[in-house]
Structure 1
């Protein structure tokens, strides 16, 4: 039980109208307007109240009770939630960048697609000044761990978050980004990390009995003295190549890329077309801006690579694994990406329109059957793309151009229903 919960009898209850007034004053404070005041709600009872979409950057909510509160899409960057009770709260899509959540209670809270980069979720101890002597008095003997039991962090970004000593029993981190996250001495029994990106995470001295790590990215993970009994790592990618290694290529990759460029420039009269089908490309490092037009790369692994502004037009990329890769502003016109794994991939601003070949001929980009859950397609050019049977659940599609797209049988975000119907009718 958190310190705030133990002091609940001393907390002042705030009503929704009073809260709305505080939020308005904080907005003025944030904008430097007259009449503004920073939101200081330390040790207030705010349970069940509605904060949806509010900007509480830098607010003080130390020791506050926010149980079952609605904080979806709220901005709590650099806010103090030290020892706050957020049990059962809804924080879906909320931003908690660099927030102080030490000793917070998040049992059963929902943080689907929330952003907690650089957040502090370590164990803590809470003190207050005496009413008469003004000296600090501990409210708890010893440190209090952050309680994340049964919390839902699906698709959340916890990059570089510090979670040492947290209790995460049966928590859901599926498809979450935990790159460089400190999970030292955590109780992770029964936690679900299926499909999560744990590259560079530190799990030393943690309890991980019966943890689900299926299809997770585990390269660079530190597991010093970690309890791993019953862990399921089927399909997980470690530091070892999961397919053919790059040292099995006929020549160094840079040489093959030079030959491929010659092949493109000469319209296949010279050079050699690049064939990397079935290879694990993760050891290639930064491939941003690379020209792989018309590449043969079916079944190739690209997980976590920077492929920004890369050119894959007319490429054969069937069943490729692009999870957590960055394809921002990439050229994918006319590419064949059927059944590709694009979950949590950044495709913001990517060009997936048909490739025009002249004389009225064009090649349509094919994404049928693709897994695009949690993918970032903001501003992507998806006109006339084949998305039949694709899974776009939780995908970000704001400003994406879907006119003429074939979405038959596709799973779509709830807020895309109207757009999808329009696209099908054109």
Structure 2
């Protein structure tokens, strides 16, 4: 059921034909053709209609009724959706970068995989032009942005402004909320399982009964937040998880390990970093860490470009948001590892030759690979059985004989030909 129109404001009901014509003129404007005009849906009723895949960047939806609209894959970058009613709408994979959603209602909307980078979802008021005062407040009550029950799983909300939003029981699982503003937000019983809240401002936020399992809270501001009955199992904070590498002779350990690799075991010694928090290393770019044992270790955010980790034991390790571009991970054991949001472009994850006729495939069974980038990576014979590949990018990757049995593939790109 839609919210009633603002007092003194009527909504013009549009048909699907009306909407299609407005969208066509907007397309002509964007392609610099004759007859183009910006799409203006201000205070119109589009409820139940479709703009699937349409380019509506910079369009005006101020105060529009859009209950149950089909906006899948629509391009709404920089659109003005101030005070719009989007209850129950389908915004799956929509692009809403820097959109103005102040005072809007997203109650029960589906924004799975949507891109809301720097979007504004703060509270707002509906106003109208007035000759004497410039603007006249139509609604005297400040409208909080409503997203209760909304599905934002895997959505990109980096640097978005959500201060004061009401998002009780909303689903933010695996969402990217880096540097987002959530000051005084009502997030009771919301699901943030696996979400990246690094650098987010949660000051005064209400997270009673929320699910923050495996969430990234590195650098987050949490002053006066309420986390009564909040599940924070596995959440990554600024506090060291396990043994802090700063308390270990890690420089000597890595040097000894590199020497051990270079001499075929003749000198040096293999290093064991099991369950260690390695974040203070900052960078291991280009290091030779072949056969390293770092089970359950935390590598979060490290620069690991071109690192050599062939045959490494990395079961359950946290490698989220790491730069693993061109890394050599042939034959690595990454069972249950977390690689969400990591850059693995051109990485080598194919089989490791360990004998004349023996190959050791890489094992990523049950790994968390959401939003990871495997473009042009070598994944031949890799086992990704039961892994979460949601929204991961496999464009132009080598995927011969890859095993994706039981894997979650929602929104993954480049896997169309893989059975």
Common topology (TM > 0.5): yes
Indicate the SS of the match to 2:17.
helix
In 1, Cα distance between equivalents of 2:7 and 2:324: 49
Q: Within 2, Cα distance between the matches of 1:67 and 1:341?
A: 37
**Correspondent of 2:307 among 306, 310, 319:** 310
**Structure 1 counterpart of 2:295:** 298
- Shift of residue 137, structure 1, vs aligned partner: 0.9
Query: Which residue does the alignment assign to 1:332?
Result: 329
Cα deviation 1:79-138 (Å, max 9, x = unaligned): 2111111111111111211111111111111111111121111111221114x7584210
Q: Which residue of structure 1 aligns with residue 136 of structure 2?
A: 137
Q: Would the aligned equivalents of 1:3 and 1:126 in 2 still touch at CA under 8 Å?
A: no
Equivalences, count: 418
Question: Which digits, 9 at most, give the CA deviation of each residue in 1:209-235, with x for residues without a partner?
Answer: 212212212222222222232222222
Q: Secondary structure at the match of 1:420?
A: coil
- 2:192 corresponding residue in structure 1: 193
After superposition, the Cα gap between the structure-2 partners of 1:402 and 1:209, relative to the gap in structure 1 and judged at 3 Å, is: same
2:55 aligns with 55
Q: Which residue in 2 is equivalent to 1:99?
A: 99
What is the alpha-carbon distance in structure 1 between the residues aligned to residue 25 and residue 18 of structure 2?
11
SS at match of 2:260: helix
Contact 1:4 1:43 in 2 (8 A): no
Counterpart in the other structure of 1:377: 374
Q: Distance in 2 between matches of 1:306 and 1:81?
A: 39
Greater CA deviation, 146-155 or 58-67? 58-67
* 2:5–2:11 Cα contact (<8 Å) kept: no
Question: What is the CA deviation profile of residues 279-316 of structure 1, one whole-angstrom value per residue up to 9, with x for unaligned ones?
Answer: 11122224444443332212212234343443322222
Change (3 A) 1:183 1:418: closer
Deviates more, 1:306-315 or 1:60-69: 306-315
Q: How many Å apart are 1:346 and its aligned residue? A: 3.9
2:162 aligns with 163
Matched, 1:399 2:369: no
Which has the higher mean CA deviation after the structures are superposed, 114-123 or 40-49?
Answer: 40-49
SS at match of 1:301: coil
Q: Which moved more, 1:151-160 or 1:265-274?
A: 265-274
CA distance in 2, matches of 1:182, 1:414: 27
Q: CA deviation at 1:386?
A: 1.9
Aligned to 1:227: 226
Distance 1:210 1:378, change over 3 A: same
Structure 2 unaligned blocks of 5 or more: none
Structure 1 contact 294–316 (Cα < 8 Å) conserved: yes
Distance 2:23 2:284 in 1: 45
Secondary structure class of the residue paired with 2:19 = helix
Partner of 1:341: 338
* Higher helix proportion (structure 1 or 2): 1
> For residue 279 of structure 1, what is the aligned residue in structure 2?
276
The question of 1:270 aligning with 2:284 is answered no
Distance in 1 (CA, whole Å) between partners of 2:34 and 2:283 is 49
For residue 62 of structure 1, report the CA deviation from its aligned partner. 1.6
RMSD value over aligned CA atoms? 2.7
